[in-house]
Amino acid sequence: MGNVLRFLTRRRGGDRWHWTDVVTWVWLIGGLLVMFGPAVWLVLSSFKTPAALAAFPPTLMPYVIEEAIVAGYDRPLPLYEVRQADGRTVVLAEVRRIGIVAQMVDPRAPETIVKVNIADRQPVEKVSFATSNYTEPFVHFDFLRYLWNSVFVTVMATAVTLLINSMAAFALAKYKFRGQSLILIVIVGTLMVPLGVIMVPLYSMISALGLFNSLWGVIWPTVATPTGVFLLRQYMLTIPDELIDAARMDKASEWQIYWRIVLPLATPALAVLAIFSVVWRWNDFLWPLIVLSQSQLYTLQVGLNVYAGQLNVQWHYILAMTVVTMIPVVLVFVFLQRFIARGIATSGLK
């Protein structure tokens, strides 16, 4: 036994286990549970029926009581395992329940009604995924609309961000003109002006421009991102000036230099900014909440919050919609996680 333990705990290089090794693995395993557990719980819960969601203690998997069609009854009856006086158990179907006594029938002999104390029976359960939680919101809520609005805002904002940020970054990286450093300082200084600080005047600005209750009212204030300009400029500084001079010799216009030489070379930085922009815009909440007051304009985040804030929260729909809202970000995470991690580690960008 001692040998087995020594074998299992032996390590490369023959070092003994240090207390920090124990802390490391406790932290990692605990982290796995705490970080992924809630999301897994959300997904499992999203497949439960409203009845299962209201039960305590909740079960891990989505269960429903099995039902059977019994001759003489027009609706399917729930099945229970009943322990009889002689110790045997039989499966009976419940007709109705009065207080602590249930009237039950044997599905094979539906004529005689048996009275059973409810303490003597256990429901017959099976794992069943309530996919209607996912399909019904498309009918009951404007779910498809919200999805479309979110996709529209995300795609448009990202496209505009990439275009105007890269143009500004090109000007700041590859031209010399007066006031250049001032512009750069102003742009970096904007980092100090988050939405929370200017929401009142920004709202009046948006209203004055007729952008209140419009998806473009959500998009415009977000596109001139200072981080985007800064990131792209730093990258474009590494593109050699000789390339640009050579293109000028060949009579290329400045615009052609921008989109045929500089943009293709800046693809890695553009990709990083695109990923961040998609995640930012998809997740935006406070500003859409202010600008969009008509329900057909809600983005997913606003729509989710509104439905979750109602007095009678329909959790079975909310949970399923939350899972759908999570999917694009989880895809980004799965495929681009390394990429983003490197971006944060090197630039501190979020």
> Which residues ranging from 271 to 290 are in contact with another protein (CB under 8 A)?
279, 282-283, 285-286, 290
Q: Which phi and psi angles does 102 have, rounded to 5°?
A: -110, 140
Residue with tokens 């009976």: 92
Whichever of 94 and 226 has its CB closer to another protein, that residue is 226
Residues 276/281/287/289 CA torsion (nearest 10 deg): -140
Query: Could you tell me the smallest distance in angstroms from the CB atom of residue 338 to another protein?
Result: 7
Q: How far is the CB of 126 from another protein (least distance, A)?
A: 21
Q: Give, as ranges, the residues between 288 and 347 that touch another protein (CB under 8 A).
A: 290, 301, 304-305, 308-309, 315, 318-319, 322, 325-326, 329-330, 332-333, 337-338, 340-341, 344-346
Interface map 224-253 toward another protein (x if CB under 8 A): x----x-----------------------x
Question: What does the alpha-carbon distance between residue 3 and residue 56 come to, in Å, rounded to a whole number?
Answer: 45
Binding status of residue 18 toward another protein by CB under 8 A: yes
Applying the rule CB under 8 A, the residues between 126 and 155 that interact with another protein are none
Residue 172 and residue 178 in contact, taking contact as beta carbons nearer than 8 Å: no
The angle at the Cα of 136, spanning 133 to 142, to the nearest 5 degrees, equals: 120
Taking the complex as a whole, the smallest distance from the CB of residue 200 to another protein amounts, in Å, to: 5
Q: Which is nearer to another protein, 85 or 200 (CB)?
A: 200
Ramachandran angles phi, psi of 333, nearest 5°? -60, -50
Check residue 58 for interaction with another protein (CB under 8 A): yes
Residue 344's Cβ-side half-sphere holds a number of Cα atoms within 13 Å equal to 9
Q: Which residue has the tokens 């630039």?
A: 347
Q: Is residue 10 part of the contact set for another protein (CB under 8 A)? A: no
Which of residues 101 and 191 has its CB atom nearest to another protein in the complex?
Answer: 191
Give the x-and-dash track for 169-198 against another protein (CB under 8 A). -xxx--x-x-----x--xx--xxxxx-xxx
Q: Which of residues 199-228 bind another protein (CB under 8 A)?
A: 199-205, 207-209, 220-221, 223-224
Residues near 298 by Cβ (< 8 Å), separated by ≥ 6? 142, 145, 146, 149, 288, 292, 306
Please state, in angstroms and rounded to a whole number, the distance separating the CA atoms of residues 261 and 239: 10
**How many residues bind to another protein according to rule CB under 8 A?**
95
